[in-house]
Structure formats: C-alpha cells, structure tokens
Structure 1
Amino acid sequence: MVIELLKFKVAPDLRENFIQKDAEIWTTALAEYPGFLGKEVWLNPNDPSEVTFIIRWESFEHSDAIPQKELETLEVKFVHALGKFYPIVESAKYQVLKGLAD
C-alpha cells in the first residue's frame, strides 16, 4: 500500500468549506480510479490552519496513473468552487511495509 500525504494551510474560518469541496470534487474523482483505497482528513489541534489529506492507494503505479490533464481539470474546478488557489505546502508518498509488526 502507498500513502500519499498532502498538507495545506487554510484560514480556520474557511476550513470546513475547503474540506467539503475537496470531498465533492477531488475525493469523488479519485474514487473512480483503480487502486484508490480511501482518504482521511487530519486536522492539527495545535494549528487550526493546517489541513492534511492522507490518501491510500494499492501501489505507486495506481497513485501515478491519473492523467496530468485530469489533475489539471480537477484543480481548475476546485479553485473555481473555492474562489481561491490553495498551494500544497507539503507533499510526500510513503510505502507501507506489511509483516514486520503484524
């Protein structure tokens, strides 16, 4: 399994709308792709402007299979829905190893 981490800074009063529009636009679209296993939203209790998405994929191949044109189209739709662009402030992918602690 692969974990994709995406971190954003969002004004606390806009956070709920950001999360809702992300679910409507991004999560709905990602769920259509093979290998998508789910998505979580993590909120930092020490920084109310920090929103982290944890996206689970079956493999790196699955996480990288979405065409760039589709990603760009989704980003335009997301920015239009929010009325503002929110850059990713941190991005990483991790491979989950099974069997070591199981």
Structure 2
Amino acid sequence: MVIEIARFHVAPEQQKGFFDAFAEVKAYVEQAEGYQSHIISQEIEDPSRISLLVQWRSYEDHVELFEPSAAHETFINALVPFFTGEVEVFHFNAEPASIGGAK
C-alpha cells in the first residue's frame, strides 16, 4: 500500500471554490483502479496549504494508471484554477520504516 500526499496552496478567498470543486470531482479519484481512501484537510499552521492524502493499493496504480488517464485530467483541471504556486506530490510506503535495521 502507498500513500500519496499532494499539497496545494489556495488563497483564503479561493478556498470555498476549491472545496466545492473538489466535492464535484472527487469521484474521479474514488473510482480509480487501486484507490482505497482519502483525506483532504487544511494545515493548522498555514490554512492556505491544503493537503490531500490518498491511499493507493500500489504506486503504479497512481502514477501509471490514474495520472495518465482522462479521469485524472478532468480531476486536476477542475482544481488548477484555485492553486497559487506549484503542487507538491510525495509518495510513501504504508509499511513501517526500518531505521538502523530495527523494525
């Protein structure tokens, strides 16, 4: 299992529009191959930063199947008008990390 974290900067006056648009297009993610769950929320320290965490079955489900799809294009195009700055995307294995060889 893989967790995708996408961070968006959305100006305060654009946030209602952003969350309304997300509600309209979130089904494109929810119906994607390998999708398992998601959370979207504003950061406490800086509410202009919004993070979307998506749990995928695998990294490939996200980057090889969903990202090049028409569904992803529709999803992201609905949100892009609300972004200020670049979107940051990170992927993490959902398995516990091994530090110094210990589990």
Instruction: Tell whether the 8 Å contact from 2:4 to 2:90 is kept in structure 1 after alignment.
Output: yes
Q: 2: distance between equivalents of 1:63 and 1:89?
A: 16
Using structure 1 for the length normalisation, give the TM-score: 0.75
Residue 89 of structure 1 pairs with residue 87 of structure 2: yes
Which consecutive unaligned segments of at least 5 residues does structure 1 have?
Answer: none
- Structure 2: gaps (5+ residues): 99-103
Corresponding pairs, count = 95
Report the RMSD for the aligned CA atoms in angstroms.
2.4
Runs of 4+ in 1 over 2 A off after TM superposition: 71-76
CA positional deviation for 1:2 = 0.6
Per-residue deviation at 1:23?
2.6
Give the equivalent residue in structure 2 for 1:74: 75
Asked if the contact 1:6/1:88 (under 8 Å) is kept, the reply is no
Of all paired residues, the percent bearing the same amino acid is 24
Amino acid paired to 1:12: P
* Corresponding residue number in structure 2 for 1:37: 36
What TM-score do you get using the length of structure 2 for normalisation?
Answer: 0.75
Question: Equivalents in 2 of 1:50, 1:63: separation in Å?
Answer: 22
Which residue is 1:2 aligned to? 2
- Corresponding residue of 1:16: 16
